Every structure is written in C-alpha cells, then in structure tokens.
C-alpha cells in the first residue's frame, strides 16, 4: 500500500457532504456515497488514485439520508462491492419506507434549511407516492449485510450512534486513530454536535457523542458534512461534547 490510507471526497453539494475511501490492503472501502445517482465523484477519485472500479469491495453507509446513499446502487452495480448498513436504515435505503420527518420549523444553522426542507418534503412525497408504479425518488439499494454495535468491518469497529437517525452508525479505525461519525458531528458551516433541524433526537445524539469521545485515541474525525477535523481532533471533539452538555 502506498500513499495515505484515507481519502476524503466531496461533491460540494448538500451541505458539503463528504464520503471517505479507505485502504487497509483488502481492496477499497467507501464510507457513504455522496449525492449523485451516478457515483461519478467517487469514480473520479478512484481513477485519480489509479484504482479500477473492481477494487471497491465494500460500501458502508452511516445512515439513510439521501445525500449519503444516492450513489450506492450504481457503485455496487459497477464494482460488485458489498453494501453494508444498519438494518433499520437499510429498510429506508432499500426503499421500503421513508426516513423520519423532523419538521419544517427552521433551526440553526439556517444555511442548511434547504436540506431540512428537502428531507421533510421527501418524507411526505415518499409516504404518499412511493408505492405507485413507476415512482422512483432515488435508486433504492437493499444492503447485502446489516451491522450492529460491536461488529467489525475489517479493522473498523462499528459503533451504534443514534440521534441524527435511529440507526446512525459510526466507525473507528484504531490503527489510523480515525473516527468516522456520519452526521453525529458536522463541521460545516460550523463544528457542531449535529444539525438540530435534520436530526430526530438531539439528546440521543449528545449521548452518542459522549460515547465517541471515549472511543480511543483520535487524530482524524471524518464528518458527514464539512471537511475532516485533523488538527487537535480529539481536543475539539471533547470541547464539542462539553459545549453540547451545556446547551
């Protein structure tokens, strides 16, 4: 293996949504898939790394919100990778039910209100239209493997971190001191313990963050939205938790 084993990727849309390509020497593992149905930005990053699409072996999903899962079906089709998600989120990713609504009342940060609005409109559209023949709101993708707290995916420890959604999952890679939080933590437009307007249970999210603050040594935090935390990541995670406890 040459080069760094973690590549952060963004297509710049949907609140700076981020995905991560990981290389621990058994093909590539992708955490989340960005917001395009074609997976084009992930494919471009693989090409840049000189890796054929068949090198993608696993697609791991933090939660079922569209901007994280839209590329999963196409990337699996192209690569033959195994799609891995929590069972509850998996039902949503498979198109069996809509993801939970969070309400239309605008919440801080207002720069992501467009996403909050889209999530809630999507809930009603899917609830009332998704069983109609021919209606496709996103490329549904039934996971090949479901995961729960304490499972392992190669070297990744699976941690159930509910709050943003019921089945939100985080992943810790001890050898790299890297933590992937999904939307439990966001870094755009500010570092925060999740976006209130897009999360179903902020108290649960805070408890999940406390759990993540004790996971082990952390030098890299890969968040679902915004650039990774790489400078003083552990300290900033603990400060964030202290702030979340006060609020």
Extended strands (E) in 3-44 = 6-10, 18-23, 28-31
Residues making up the chain, counted from first to last: 247
Residue 17's Cα: distance from chain center in Å? 8
Positions in the binding site for Zn ion (CB under 5 A):
65, 183
What is the closest distance, in whole angstroms, from the C-beta atom of residue 164 to Zn ion in the complex? 6
CB 151 within 8 A of CB 85: no
Residue 165's Cα: distance from chain center in Å? 11
What is the closest distance, in whole angstroms, from the C-beta atom of residue 48 to Zn ion in the complex? 26
Contacts of residue 128, Cβ cutoff 8 Å, sequence gap at least 6:
none
What is the closest distance, in whole angstroms, from the C-beta atom of residue 174 to Zn ion in the complex? 25
CB 169 within 8 A of CB 161: yes
Q: Tokens standing for 72?
A: 């999963």
Element (H, E) at 169: strand 169-173
What is the closest distance, in whole angstroms, from the C-beta atom of residue 201 to Zn ion in the complex? 13
Nearer to Zn ion, 76 or 164 (CB): 164
**Long-range Cβ contact pairs of 170-174 (< 8 A, separation 24 or more):** 170/62, 170/208, 170/212, 171/31, 171/60, 171/62, 172/215, 172/216, 172/218, 173/22, 173/24, 174/216, 174/217
What is the closest distance, in whole angstroms, from the C-beta atom of residue 140 to Zn ion in the complex? 17
What is the closest distance, in whole angstroms, from the C-beta atom of residue 10 to Zn ion in the complex? 15
């Amino acid at each position: 293996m040459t080069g760094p084993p973690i590549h952060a990727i963004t297509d710049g849309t949907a609140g700076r949504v981020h995905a991560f390509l990981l290389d621990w020497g058994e093909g590539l593992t992708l955490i989340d898939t960005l917001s395009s149905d074609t997976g084009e930005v992930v494919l471009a990053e693989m090409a840049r790394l000189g890796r054929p699409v068949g090198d993608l072996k696993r697609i791991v999903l933090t939660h079922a919100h569209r901007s994280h899962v839209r590329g999963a079906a196409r990337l699996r089709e192209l690569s033959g990778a195994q799609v891995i998600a929590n069972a509850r989120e998996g039902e949503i990713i498979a198109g069996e039910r809509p993801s939970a609504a969070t309400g239309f009342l605008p919440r801080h940060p207002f720069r992501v209100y467009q996403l909050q609005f889209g999530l809630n409109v999507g809930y009603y559209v899917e609830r009332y239209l998704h069983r109609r023949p021919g209606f496709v709101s996103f490329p549904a993708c039934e996971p090949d493997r479901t995961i729960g707290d304490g499972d392992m995916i190669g070297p990744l420890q699976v941690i159930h971190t509910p709050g943003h959604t019921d089945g939100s999952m985080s992943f810790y890679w001890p050898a790299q001191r890297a933590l992937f939080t999904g939307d439990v933590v966001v870094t755009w437009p500010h570092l925060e313990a999740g976006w209130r307007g897009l999360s179903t249970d902020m108290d649960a999210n805070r408890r999940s963050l406390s759990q993540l603050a004790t996971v082990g040594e952390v030098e890299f935090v890969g968040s679902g939205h915004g650039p990774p935390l790489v400078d003083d990541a552990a300290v900033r995670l603990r400060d964030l938790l202290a702030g979340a406890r006060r609020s």
